[in-house]
Structure 1
């Protein structure tokens, strides 16, 4: 009987544990694309990756970098005059003509919403003077963002055997773009019209290619905020999309999807990410994250220089470790608000760092007159040295008085002798 009861209890225990694990964490849905990454847009942490660092031809997702450089280098109301090359370009375009004038903003709408290759080329020439020079700028900016496997040769993504990037690198570009409100505004625009120009006398209609935005499609995702599609025969299908729920924001980048399955798969992948991960704050800017006791016993509050966020695995009870580097603070004096050291935050393979500010002044102990002559290595007053200095000063005063008395007596004696000599 006892054995039977033990077996029954064991069965229920195993069942309960299995049930808990199944709902605490779930595997990501299957993705058709050969290269995939899911990134927390707030922290840059990768929560899922498949060949995410393997280079592939990116097609029009290349335009993420073109849009980023345009936002960083141009005013929206700048006028772009189309040169001879952009109208000759192949692929998707709005059919600009040589000498046509459009604002940077209008061209951004065209590039983001309908993937206009001609506008991407026109923006590249406007910024750098030529496609070749703009490609150099693209690669330089990619390195600054931390991209390690990217080489761009054009601003639009038409196939070139040297034109490559990765799902991870594209996610980094999208992460930076999400800091630009104009990018999100344009990316969320479902349809609009471009006004007539000096050459094209009718309004041009624009319809956003990102189906996640349109409720007429089954793949409609209400939390989607941005997306960029891409396709060439050689590159196959590519897609980069972002979605936001509350404080949580994720980026999905997919390369070399042969079946264009990303519209069916991306919403499921977003749901998985939002369910299993969340952005948490380790500490806030200005928050006291610790204290430092100086050698003389003073307590210095240590303040965070910025918010530090990390990506929490919702199935884990693990807490981030916070380590303040206090080794560099010894024998150091500082002012309130001054950066004095660093803090490292580590969680589940993620690492973040920030400067640490002093919450109060810490100055060298200095007494009037004697200055720092009696300050010890511990930044305290050495009363032994102080008494020695005071004793020396007192002794010096006494000797000075005695010397003065001696001189006065000697002068008086000399005067008496002089008078005696005159009398004789």
Structure 2
């Protein structure tokens, strides 16, 4: 019995040793830039050289697809132009004049990295690749990706086509919060129609190995050109908590991405910083039938908190009056609050009342009586 316990303790210690080595080696990733982010809050959990402007190859297509989804035109049929049909690089072999559903083209872009499909989508939505690139840049600024510039929808080399690991992380987290995008990028296989007159289908297999080899892997996009090197944007969800990683110009992009995501899951945890079912504070009520009014957060707020070393604390900042005059109405806004981990804001929400409190003033009650006679 003692021998069995000793063997168990030895194996357990060995597992801990290798786990610690694996986690520590996150700093040894050989990439020009990398980033690990919490998808819900955009909080950066780990990074290196994340503000360097670099080419990103086909990870460009994350923006292409989220813009197409947000256009609300997924059911439209796209007529393939000659320009789209002759695109170099990755292709699903679209033919000039072929008609194909816009939604099917998005699967072709994200699963098979179709450059021809990317151009077809850009032309259908904006008329030209150049105009679509303008839309891409406008959206990047809205998201906060201020050090990114798009020149095309596919990521083929252009000196003025670049991003940063941080910006690409922001774009990815934004896109993953869209249910349609999230569904597309986690799809392992998809069959879409071939040319109607030829009576065959295109069977697409997702090139993202993370869907198969990383526990909880659920996206996002591979990329490679000689100029950009190997690029990979990945995401994974464990226990209802999603992280996203970006590696740019990284030879061992699969293992590097796995290391980053594993580091996040091992060194941080998702917490509920604000509970909407718990009263936040009681406020004195002036001329009310109740002396105190409870205020509640309008929604739950979650965030990632570091658990290795000194555990981090959540800091709450409120904007709320010290007292309130009756009458008070259910769901009326009472104020706002913000939740921070360090100096990073993980979320904001309104504070609301969850009950009606009538006034004791004579004028209020006279008005109430008169209203009852109408």
TM-score range, shorter chain: 0.7 to 0.9
Classify 1:110/1:182 alpha carbon distance in 2 versus 1 (closer, same or farther; 3 Å). same
CA distance in 2 between counterparts of 1:149 and 1:340 reads 38
1:28 is paired with a residue of what secondary structure?
A: helix
Structure of larger gyration radius:
1
Deviations 1:298-326 (A, max 9, x none): 31211111221111111244431223222
- Conserved 8 A contact 2:246-2:257: no
Alignment pair present for 1:272 and 2:263: yes
The 5 A counterparts of 1:47-62 are 47-62=45-60
Alignment pair present for 1:341 and 2:335: yes
CA distance in 2 between counterparts of 1:132 and 1:122 reads 13
Alignment pair present for 1:356 and 2:351: yes
Give the aligned partner of residue 3 of structure 2.
none
CA distance in 2 between counterparts of 1:370 and 1:124 reads 63
Q: CA deviation at 1:114?
A: 1.0
1:301 aligned residue (289, 294, 301): 294
Give the aligned partner of residue 37 of structure 1.
35
Alignment pair present for 1:188 and 2:186: yes
Alignment pair present for 1:143 and 2:144: no
CA distance in 1 between counterparts of 2:264 and 2:364 reads 67
Give the aligned partner of residue 172 of structure 2.
174
Deviations 1:267-288 (A, max 9, x none): 1222111111111111233542
Give the aligned partner of residue 226 of structure 2.
233
2:102 aligned residue (97, 101, 104): 104
Alignment pair present for 1:263 and 2:254: yes
1:221 aligned residue (214, 225, 243): 214
1:288 aligned residue (279, 285, 292): 279
Deviations 1:246-302 (A, max 9, x none): 122110011122xx2111222122211111111111123354222222455831211
CA distance in 2 between counterparts of 1:290 and 1:26 reads 42
Deviations 1:53-109 (A, max 9, x none): 222111110000011011111343321111232112211111212211111221111
CA distance in 2 between counterparts of 1:148 and 1:184 reads 24
Q: CA deviation at 1:144?
A: 1.7
After superposing the two structures, state which structure 1 stretch, 177-186 or 299-308, moved more: 177-186
CA distance in 1 between counterparts of 2:127 and 2:257 reads 37
Q: For structure 2, list consecutive stretches of 5 or more residues without a partner in the other structure.
A: 1-16, 368-374
- Conserved 8 A contact 2:283-2:322: no
Classify 1:92/1:368 alpha carbon distance in 2 versus 1 (closer, same or farther; 3 Å). closer
Give the aligned partner of residue 366 of structure 1.
361
- Conserved 8 A contact 2:194-2:200: yes
Q: CA deviation at 1:139?
A: 1.4
Higher strand share: 2
Classify 1:329/1:137 alpha carbon distance in 2 versus 1 (closer, same or farther; 3 Å). farther
The 5 A counterparts of 1:241-260 are 241-257=234-250, 260=251
The aligned length equals 344
TM-score, normalization by structure 1: 0.74
Q: CA deviation at 1:344?
A: 1.8
Give the aligned partner of residue 14 of structure 1.
none
TM-score, normalization by structure 2: 0.84
Classify 1:87/1:346 alpha carbon distance in 2 versus 1 (closer, same or farther; 3 Å). same
Give the aligned partner of residue 384 of structure 1.
none
Deviations 1:103-151 (A, max 9, x none): 1221111100110011011111111121122112111211222212111
2:26 is paired with a residue of what secondary structure?
A: coil
Q: CA deviation at 1:52?
A: 1.3
Q: CA deviation at 1:181?
A: 3.2
1:34 is paired with a residue of what secondary structure?
A: strand
Q: For structure 1, list consecutive stretches of 5 or more residues without a partner in the other structure.
A: 1-18, 215-219, 373-424
Classify 1:187/1:61 alpha carbon distance in 2 versus 1 (closer, same or farther; 3 Å). same
